[in-house]
Amino acid sequence: MMVFEMFSAAHFVGLAAAIVVFVGIIVFRKPMRKPAVNRKVRYGLASLLIVCEASLQLSYFLDHSWGVGSLPFQLCSLMVLVSALLLFSNKKNLYDVVFFLGSMGALQALLTPNLDETFPHFRYFHFFIAHIGIIGAALFIMAVERYRPTIRSVLKAIVWLHVLAVPAAITNTVTGTTNFMFLAHKPGTASLLDLLGPWPWYLLQLEVIVFAICSMLYAIVRLLDRWFKSNTDIDRRNRSLENNENGE
């Protein structure tokens, strides 16, 4: 069986698919605001995420490899379920969690995949579909539902991250074999965590990095809003001047 390699053709194909999905959500954001279309897209993406997690668990059973390590306690596994719940229910109190934690975890996963199997293995497709779906849900609530984060949103997301880490940490401690959310040690494959110090110091470094990434996401959204607003104002001003000139 061929092993997945970072920045290989299989990796770039997955990233290209992600870009196509993300651009599609942005380009078709206005049609997706229509109630009927909005509901179909939300339910469709939510169903896809649920199928992803269910099929993964089923694959463990069929391979006779299901164990405590198969529990969905990794950050992205949790975000698959939370994103699906958000899309099905459209509960606005979940927006902060999905936007910050979903984007942060899934983006890091897409750039530096913790993946052994490559194309055309099932795990390859599951990995990219699930992580693209998580970011797709975050982008959907921002571009289509017009969610806008605040400073309070950043703090709320960080609190939720620590809450979600509790069952992962307990399971890691009790079993001594799992490494949910990479709290016990760094992943076995190459990742951005390799740039940090040894355990447990990299956990403290991650606290700072998480706050920095969430703050950066918040700043990017604010800057994009200002840029679009500025361009929109310029376009309106130009159209007004043209109308005045034509009127004369």
Tell me the average pLDDT of the chain. Answer: 90
Write down the pLDDT at residue 224: 86
Which tens digits make up the pLDDT trace of 152-183? 999 999 999 999 999 999 999 999 999 999 99
The answer to whether residue 182 sits within a structural domain is no
Instruction: Give the chain's end-to-end CA distance (angstroms, integer).
Output: 74
Structural domain for 116, as ranges: 9-177
For residue 132, the model assigns a pLDDT of 97
Report the pLDDT value the prediction gives residue 112, as an integer from 0 to 100: 86
Number of domains in the chain: 1
Q: How confident is the model at residue 241 (pLDDT cuts 50, 70, 90)?
A: very low
Structural domain includes residue 112: yes
Tokens of 116: 């052994």
Check residue 231 and give its pLDDT. Answer: 61
pLDDT band of residue 137 (cuts 50, 70, 90) is very high
Summarize the confidence of residues 6-33 as an average pLDDT: 95
150 in any annotated domain: yes
Mean per-residue pLDDT, 49-59: 95
Whether 4 is in a domain gets the answer no
In a domain, 116, yes or no: yes
Residue 200 lies in a domain: no
Residue 135: pLDDT band (50, 70, 90) is very high
Q: In this predicted structure, what is the pLDDT of residue 97?
A: 93
